[in-house]
Structure formats: C-alpha cells, structure tokens
Amino acid sequence: MLPIVGNLTRWSSDYESLKRALQIKEGISSFIATAIGVNRNGERAANDTALINDDLSDKDWSTLGHIMEILEPFAEWSTRLQVKYNNGCIANILPVMDELKEILENAKNTPRYNSRHILSMLSNALRILSNYYKKTEVCPSYIVAVVLNPGMKMEYFEVQWDIRPDAINLAKNILNNMWVNTYKGKYPASTVLTQQDNSSLGTELGNACPSTQPKHKFQTSFQRKRQVLMESEGIDKLAQYLQEPISQDIDMDLIEYWSNMFNIRGMRDLAQMALEILSIPAMSAEPERIFSGARITLTDRRCSMGDDALAKLECTKSWIKDNFLPVTHPELQMVQNLLDALVADEAQGGD
C-alpha cells in the first residue's frame, strides 16, 4: 500500500491522504527512521538535521488521527452529494451545512480535540462556513430548494434555525420574492392540460422519472370541495402547499413528486418553480463528468459536430447510463449510424 498525496482539485483528498497514512503508519515511521540515520542508541546522524522535522512522534500521529476523524463526515457528505437524484439535490446543501456546523461546534467541546492546532482549524472552518451562509441571500435557490422539499418545507428552518429569527424571516422573504416575481401566475389556475399537452409532457418527463401515478391521487369529497373553494377564492398555491403537513416519506423522489403535481390544475406554476430549482445538482461533479465525456465523443472524425447535436448525444448517453433509456445493442448501433449521418450532413453544410 502506497501513500496518497493530497490534491487541491480532488474532493476529500486530505482525508484520504491521512486515512492511508494512518493505515501504513509503521511503514512510514520505519522509512523516516532509516532516512534520518537512526542508530541503535537512537542518536540521529549529524547530517540528517533537514529530515528530523519529518519524524512524527506518537503525539503527532494522534493529532493526525483526530484531524481525520473531524474530516470524515466532510468526506462522506462530499461523496453523497455527488450522487444523482435525492442525495445530490440542491435541497440537501443547507441541511448538510447545518449538520457539519453542528459537528464542528461539538468537536470544539470534545476533550480529545483540545489542542491548539485542532482548535484553530475548527475555528477557521466555522468562520468559512459562516461566510457561505451569508451567500444564501445572493443565491436564493438554496433556501427555496429546502422549502420545496415536501419533507422539510418552512418547518425545517423554524426547527433548525430557531435561535436565528432574523435568518428565518430572511428565508421567508427570499422564498416569497422568488415566487411572486418569477413564477406566480405563470400558469393561470384555470389552465387545464390538453391531451396534446399531456402527451408532450409525458414525453419530456417520462425519461426523468418512473411512469407512476401521483401518490396523492385519492381525494375525499371534503378535499375536492376544499380544492374548488381555494381556487375560487384565489388562495395562493405556495401558501396552500406550506399549510399541508410535511411528508414522512424520507425517500421521496422530489422530481417525480413535482412532475405529478405539474399535471394538477392550478399547480403548474408552483411545480414549474420546484422542477427548475430541484433539478440543480448539489455539486458540479456530474456536469464535469459529462463535460469530460463530451471530449471522448468529439473525436477527430466528428470535429464538425454542432453544439446542439453534441448536447443531445451527451444527454442520451447519460440517460442510457442511468437506465432511463434501456436499449439493446442493435438500437445502440442504430444511434451510432444516425450520429455518423448527422455528422456527415453537418460537414456538407459547412462546406
């Protein structure tokens, strides 16, 4: 097993580096001892002064172990947030920040972390995290995404930020401003999807979520009458959504939920808002992978491929990879033939 060198551009590389170093602690200590010329009496050779600083004491190793413990939840959440769907949704960013903030604050009060170096690291981490909280006013999507998660809504902030009433009020204002200024009234409450709308909508969203019926399709007579009354009185759909109890389904597919809501009369503007916000990935890892994949696709023989064709191809590849488009080998060959024909047509058009 070889050491892992930290990399500024790789997520959690410091954690992985410390973890590996602690796994091969004996080998590293033996290597350093040999390099600095330790003799049987434990006396270092006079010409090895420059290497002495690399010799780690038991206390040093203990400190590195404590640092690795603190970094472990950061590494875990970095991995989870790279995953697609619910874990990798932007709605998880603020909850994860709150979780990490609590971990750091608890670590400051943990006796085994009571060293000058570790306490300084914890203070710096909390200060940087605090700066990110301030950016939510500049980029409101993080707050809005949490509220549009039926399992959290505004109740999340009222519970988690209970000692910060100013932050709760700011979150409410941010949510209301985005709703009123951008989405409310985009689709009138009387809008009814035509058969053609339903067909095109199913085509567009069918690959983004399973073709299941809405989970809340059953309504009592009271619920139906209440829905009609609220629509006739012009009840704000966001307010209506927030008044409903939060969902207990922690594994809910948010895109599927709001895709189903999109088909409900009067809910299209709120559903559109949710779909646009919740489709934002929590991290840039997946878009970066797709960007790298495009470099593989755009070979020398395909240098005439246009942006539109490349974008559609990468989207299709992503859907196939995630089993949204189960395809057979003949179908893949047909796609390859169509792609080659498209490239040839674009090359002729360019000439």
DSSP per-residue string spanning 145-156: HHHTSTTTTTHH
CA distance 168 to 155: 10
Last residue of a domain, one of 230, 261, 278: 278
CA distance 181 to 213: 31
CA 39, 42, 46, 50: dihedral to nearest 10 degrees?
Answer: 110
Domain co-membership, 290 together with 239: no
Domain co-membership, 214 together with 296: no
Residue 80 is assigned to a structural domain of this protein: no
Domain co-membership, 196 together with 268: yes
- Could you tell me what percent of the chain has a pLDDT over 90? 33
Residue 117 is assigned to a structural domain of this protein: no
Instruction: Show the domain range for 242.
Output: 188-278
Residue 236 is assigned to a structural domain of this protein: yes
pLDDT band at 198 (very low <50, low <70, confident <90, very high): very low
Domain co-membership, 260 together with 304: no
Domain co-membership, 204 together with 254: yes
Taking Cα atoms as reference points, which of 269, 260, 261, 265 lies closest to residue 178?
269
Q: What are phi and psi of 89, to 5 degrees?
A: -90, 150
pLDDT digits (tens, 9 = 90+) for 125-175: 999 999 988 888 788 999 999 999 999 999 999 999 999 899 999 999 999
Give the pLDDT confidence score for residue 283 in this predicted structure: 83
Residue 217 is assigned to a structural domain of this protein: yes
DSSP letter string, 24-36: THHHHHHHHHHHT
Domain co-membership, 234 together with 271: yes
Last residue of a domain, one of 278, 312, 338: 278
Q: Which residues contact 158 (CB under 8 A, 6 or more apart)?
A: 168
Lowest mean pLDDT: which of 76-85, 100-109, 161-170, 337-346?
337-346
pLDDT digits (tens, 9 = 90+) for 22-37: 999 999 888 887 777 6
Residue 196 is assigned to a structural domain of this protein: yes
Domain co-membership, 311 together with 243: no
Last residue of a domain, one of 236, 263, 278: 278
Residue 174 is assigned to a structural domain of this protein: no
Give the pLDDT confidence score for residue 203 in this predicted structure: 40
Mean pLDDT over each residue of the chain, to the nearest integer:
79
Q: Which residue has the higher pLDDT, 15 or 83?
A: 15
Give the pLDDT confidence score for residue 341 in this predicted structure: 76
Q: Which residue has the higher pLDDT, 56 or 190?
A: 56
Using an 8 Å Cβ cutoff, are 91 and 145 in contact? yes
Using an 8 Å Cβ cutoff, are 270 and 187 in contact? no
Lowest mean pLDDT: which of 71-80, 258-267, 318-327?
318-327
Exposure string (b/e) for 186-204, b if CB count within 10 Å is 16 or more? ebebeeebeeeeeeeeeee
Domain co-membership, 221 together with 256: yes
Residue 302 is assigned to a structural domain of this protein: yes
Global pTM reads 0.71
Give the pLDDT confidence score for residue 191 in this predicted structure: 47
Residue 311 is assigned to a structural domain of this protein: yes
Q: Is the pLDDT of residue 297 over 50?
A: yes
- Counted domains in the chain: 2
Domain co-membership, 330 together with 271: no
